[in-house]
């Protein structure tokens, strides 16, 4: 069904047993976020907070908390979206399935945004920022944030909705040095469309007009996170997914989504920044306080009985994981189709998405040679690291499709994928570093904001070693509290062992350790038992805490013609460094209060 607004969606979820109403007053200071996290962890329903302390407005979260619920919300439009994406990938698909194509093209009529000067529910009343549910999510957060915003901007060179950008860039509503009701913070990262728009406005000496939509049809939130090609309007996609055209109007020169629950309008002036953050972010750490664009508030609007939509991010998986799963279910092979030879690519959610990519490519360059080694997959790796948000990847593991293998390699089965590559990797040849480059804004493993390094691990060919299924005596004898994470990968206690000592003790023995004993990687960490307990712990701590150029070394390492390699196992220092951002941790007192509240609802 086509939801005209957020409440229509929530009522539909309630009719189908997928909504929890919290009836008592709840504090937006940490309590609401803690309730959300608890319900999400139990794969629970969407939540409607009916009484928010300090605000007359209701709030809703966990709307997209499971992939199944997202599919339910968009049950009438998902097939049409997939078909339209398939047609874009392969125009001949329209010829192969003409009846399906006609249905999809009919749905595509909703892609055209509709300017609606008459029906404008969101303009029901004008309010202040202080009237909103000012939700603080984690104890060290710098203030209240909008976590499901749809941030709308236009191209100063080609104004109008056709060349607009809709993105999900967090908004800080209060705290720090912001003048309440007059200023808010606008945080956006690298490779975001809004940056192009602000650059063009700055070049013209003009303020960038910004509209922040909250709530409205759920499709609008999904559109804001869709990785669409530059120049393709998210409003077109929002209409198709919603099953109804994106309704808008202009007020005081600002575009307003008339179906939204709330709209904040304002301007960002050239070179006007203020400190934004900290904020407990989706990597599981705080993004610290840095200068980001200042948005001067023009007006704030709310529809009658408006509902404030929010989510909570932290160490993955969280609700934004479902966003990623939904996008993948819609786009399918769209990304791999854009990169010749790429068969599959997986941004590992447990590692915070951008820190770790796993990919499968093709090897077609030298079929006349018996010796198999990486060739085409190196070209594909460079293409991946030059494509949209994939370019933010810090660790890229890539191999080639193996049609002779006894099992089908799957990038979503991380342990099996690592084992396949580590059994084949030549550590003297297959490691390719990119130093002094850009990385994800939220990744603090580098020593400066947006700055760090990358590592491509590209392996292909015959099996070179049998990976160790236990910790061998040579490692046990180090008395470094060694624990096997997975075959060939061993965690060591960094308080008892360091890289220099490892290199000294195994000098000249790297090949023996790697080839005969099957030790491929040694991970230094504060708590090896914890890291080995769960693969998710390894994926998170192992790849979010390491800066490849600084924190990776190896046994019997060497540099030859500026190429770094090692003859023995790779060593990764996955300890927490002084310059790292702290991990998000729940507040114990708040958790006790939440115990009491949720006990009434059976959680």
Q: What is the pLDDT of residue 440?
A: 86
547-551-556 Cα angle (round to 5): 140
HSE-CB at 496 with a 13 A cutoff on CA atoms is 14
Cβ atoms of residues 524 and 572 within 8 Å: yes
Report the distance separating Cα 376 and Cα 460, nearest Å: 10
Cβ atoms of residues 214 and 140 within 8 Å: no
Quickly tell me which residue has 């608890």 as its tokens: 38
For the chain, give the number of residues.
603
Q: What is the pLDDT of residue 92?
A: 54
Report the distance separating Cα 282 and Cα 303, nearest Å: 30
Go through the domains of the chain in sequence order and give each one's CATH number: 6-315 (2.30.110.10), 320-458 (3.40.1670.10), 473-573 (3.40.1670)
Residues of the chain with pLDDT under 70: 86-106, 190-191, 228-232, 332-336, 368-371
Nearest Cα residue to 170 out of 292, 81, 76: 292
Q: Given 3-state DSSP classes, what are the helix, strand and coil percentages for the chain, each rounded to the nearest 5?
A: 30, 25, 45
Q: What is the pLDDT of residue 477?
A: 94
| Element containing residue 330 per DSSP (H, E) | helix 319-331
274-277-282 Cα angle (round to 5): 140
304 CB-contact burial (10 Å; exposed 0-12 / middle 13-18 / buried 19+): exposed
Listed in sequence order, the DSSP H helices in 478-587 are 499-505, 510-511, 528-533, 535-544, 548-551
Cβ atoms of residues 437 and 385 within 8 Å: no
Q: Which residues pair with 125 in a beta bridge?
A: 302
Cβ atoms of residues 362 and 401 within 8 Å: yes
Angle between helix 98-107 and helix 78-89 axes, rounded to 10 deg: 110
Other Cβ atoms less than 10 A from the Cβ of 147: the count is: 22
Report the distance separating Cα 340 and Cα 372, nearest Å: 20
Q: What is the pLDDT of residue 210?
A: 96
Other Cβ atoms less than 10 A from the Cβ of 289: the count is: 14
Q: What is the pLDDT of residue 81?
A: 84
Determine how β-strand 521-525 pairs with β-strand 489-493.
parallel
Nearest Cα residue to 503 out of 558, 462, 554: 554
Identify the three-state secondary structure at position 41: helix
Predicted TM-score (pTM) of the model is 0.92
Report the distance separating Cα 517 and Cα 281, nearest Å: 40
Contacts of 228 (CB under 8 A, 6+ apart): 234, 237
């Amino acid at each position: 069904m086509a939801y005209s607004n957020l409440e229509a969606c929530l009522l539909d979820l309630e009719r189908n047993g997928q909504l929890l109403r919290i009836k008592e007053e709840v504090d937006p200071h940490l309590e609401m976020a803690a309730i959300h996290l608890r319900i999400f962890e139990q794969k629970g329903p969407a939540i409607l907070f009916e009484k928010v302390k300090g605000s007359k407005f209701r709030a809703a979260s966990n709307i997209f908390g499971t992939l199944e619920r997202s599919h339910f919300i968009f049950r009438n439009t998902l097939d049409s979206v997939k078909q339209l994406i398939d047609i874009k990938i392969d125009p001949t698909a329209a010829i192969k399935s003409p009846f399906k194509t006609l249905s999809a093209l009919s749905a595509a009529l909703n892609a055209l945004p509709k300017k609606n000067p008459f029906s404008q529910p969101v303009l029901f009343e004008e309010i202040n920022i202080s009237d909103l549910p000012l939700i603080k999510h984690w104890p060290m957060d710098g203030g209240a944030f909008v976590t499901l915003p749809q941030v709308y901007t236009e191209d100063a060179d080609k104004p109008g909705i056709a060349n607009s950008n809709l993105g999900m860039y967090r908004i800080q509503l209060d705290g720090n040095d912001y003048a309440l009701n007059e200023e808010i913070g606008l945080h956006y990262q690298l490779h975001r469309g809004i940056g192009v728009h602000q650059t063009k406005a700055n070049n013209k000496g003009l303020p960038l007009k910004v509209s922040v939509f909250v709530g409205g049809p759920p499709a609008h939130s999904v559109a804001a996170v869709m990785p669409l090609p530059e120049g393709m309007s998210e409003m077109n996609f929002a209409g198709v997914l919603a099953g109804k055209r994106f309704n808008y109007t202009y007020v005081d020169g600002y575009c307003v989504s008339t179906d939204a629950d709330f709209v904040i309008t304002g301007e960002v002036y050239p070179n006007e920044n203020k400190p934004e953050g900290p904020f407990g972010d989706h990597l599981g750490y705080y993004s610290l306080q840095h200068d980001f664009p200042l948005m001067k508030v023009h007006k704030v609007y709310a529809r009658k009985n408006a509902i404030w939509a929010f989510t909570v991010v932290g160490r993955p998986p969280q609700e934004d994981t479902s966003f990623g799963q939904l996008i993948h279910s819609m786009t399918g092979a769209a990304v791999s189709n854009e990169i010749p030879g790429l068969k599959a690519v997986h941004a590992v959610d447990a590692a915070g998405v951008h820190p770790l990519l796993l990919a499968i490519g093709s090897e077609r360059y030298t079929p006349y040679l018996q010796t198999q080694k990486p060739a085409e997959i190196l070209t594909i790796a460079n293409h991946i690291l030059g494509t949209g948000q994939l370019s933010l990847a810090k660790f890229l593991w890539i191999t080639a499709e193996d049609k002779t293998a006894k099992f089908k390699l799957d990038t979503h089965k991380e342990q099996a994928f690592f084992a396949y590559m580590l059994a084949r990797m030549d550590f003297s040849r297959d490691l390719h570093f990119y130093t002094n480059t850009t990385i994800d804004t939220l990744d603090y493993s580098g020593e400066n904001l947006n700055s760090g390094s990358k590592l491509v691990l590209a392996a292909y060919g015959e099996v070179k070693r049998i990976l160790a299924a236990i910790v061998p005596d040579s490692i046990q004898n180090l008395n470094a509290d060694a624990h096997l994470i997975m075959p060939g990968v061993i965690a060591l206690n960094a308080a008892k062992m360091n890289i220099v000592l490892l290199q000294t003790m195994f000098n000249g023995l790297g090949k023996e350790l790697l080839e005969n004993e099957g030790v491929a990687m040694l991970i230094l960490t504060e708590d090896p038992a914890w890291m080995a307990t769960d693969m998710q712990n390894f994926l998170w701590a192992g790849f979010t805490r390491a800066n490849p150029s600084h924190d990776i070394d190896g046994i019997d390492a060497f540099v030859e013609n500026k190429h770094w390699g090692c003859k023995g196992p790779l060593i990764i220092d996955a300890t927490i460094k002084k310059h790292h951002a702290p991990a998000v941790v729940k507040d114990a007192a708040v958790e006790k209060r939440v115990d009491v509240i949720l006990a009434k609802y059976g959680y």
